[in-house]
Amino acid sequence: MDPLDLRPIGETALEVTALGLGCGTLGDPNEIIDEGRADATLAAAHAAGIRLFDTAPWYGNTKSEHRTGHYLRTRPRESFALATKVGRVYGRPDDLAAFRRSAPAARWVGGLPFELRFDYSGDGVRRSYEDSLMRLGLERVDALAIHDLDRKFHDEEGVEAGLRQLESDGGWSALQALKDRGEIQAIGAGINFVGLIPRFLERFELDYVLVAMPYTLLDQPALDAELQLCLDRKVSVVVGAVFASGILATGAVPGALYGYSAAEPEVAEKVRGMSAVCARHGVSLAAAALQFPFGHPAVAAVIPGANAPDQVQQNLEAMRAEIPAAFWDELKSEGLLRQDAPVPAA
């Protein structure tokens, strides 16, 4: 599979490489890296021909945007596609000590001391977008996604309130105006669970959805209805947490992460089973995880994270690895992959 294959996003003119770089890891979620290593990671991806870079204000409480822009603004603007997100607005906390004890601060080991508030209104979208441009040091981005408007960060009342802000309080109109003026080329939504894609698509004409967990080699709940809905509406799917936040890259090692938390025993056992099938076919688990989503025709790209140049190279090699059809057949026969899951052609 060619990781540098160019694919359109929805029905827009925006094209991205099949393999992108997810820049969440440059927000230092689990370890702190220095600025030189962050730059080298971005440089390795760009030099290899990767042309999709996905960041967000949330990653490192704005740290990822600073780092992503620090490198990319030195590159020719036509040489990359850049996506960021709206929905969180950042400012200086009134009580820094209290902020340091908060969940948003704890999420990022090396995050910056800025506090978020969720805001999906027109004013919130415009403020988030303009703040992102200043952090990035760029005059435009190629795509904006509505970020995390689901039950990972909101209860049902909060989800409905966010959707109302988008629909009635100017959030969607602000995004559409940016697209109409040519400041952005595509509008998306980033989600962590099934159930939100239909609610978005019944209200808004999205160009893509960024699916963070519901479609990986481990779990495919989005296959029940939502990916087909995207295909029917000509909405592209970008798969974010293609390694299920870690375990499909590391294997079931002690401390392996699944869904951004320690993997439960049953998850680790399933991954051990997958690893055994991988060994019998000479396939790496990472290669299987990276290539699996492309069996579905709605999927345009995957954006695994990396925080070191060698990780970028490993992802490129894993995308190019040959995987025999018998491998996918055995995963299904062993009950490790849904029978109806579409798989890439051998």
Point out the residues that are catalytic.
54, 59, 85
Nearest to 186 by CA among 195, 196, 175, 194: 175
**Stretch (H or E) spanning 313:** helix 309-320
SS (H, E, C) 239-264: ECCCCCCCHHHHCCCCCCEECCEECC
One-letter amino acid at 187 equals I
Q: Are 172 and 222 in contact (CB under 8 A)?
A: no
Nearest to 176 by CA among 16, 59, 12: 12
Q: Are 191 and 209 in contact (CB under 8 A)?
A: yes
Nearest to 216 by CA among 317, 288, 311, 313: 288
Backbone angles phi, psi at 186, to 5 degrees: -145, 150
Chain centre distance of CA 132: 17
The Cα 100–Cα 202 span in angstroms is: 39
One-letter amino acid at 173 equals S
Nearest to 153 by CA among 112, 113, 125, 192: 192
The Cα 207–Cα 209 span in angstroms is: 7
* Interacting residues of 193 by C-beta distance below 8 A, sequence separation 6+: 150, 151, 152, 213, 214
279: its two tokens: 């060994």
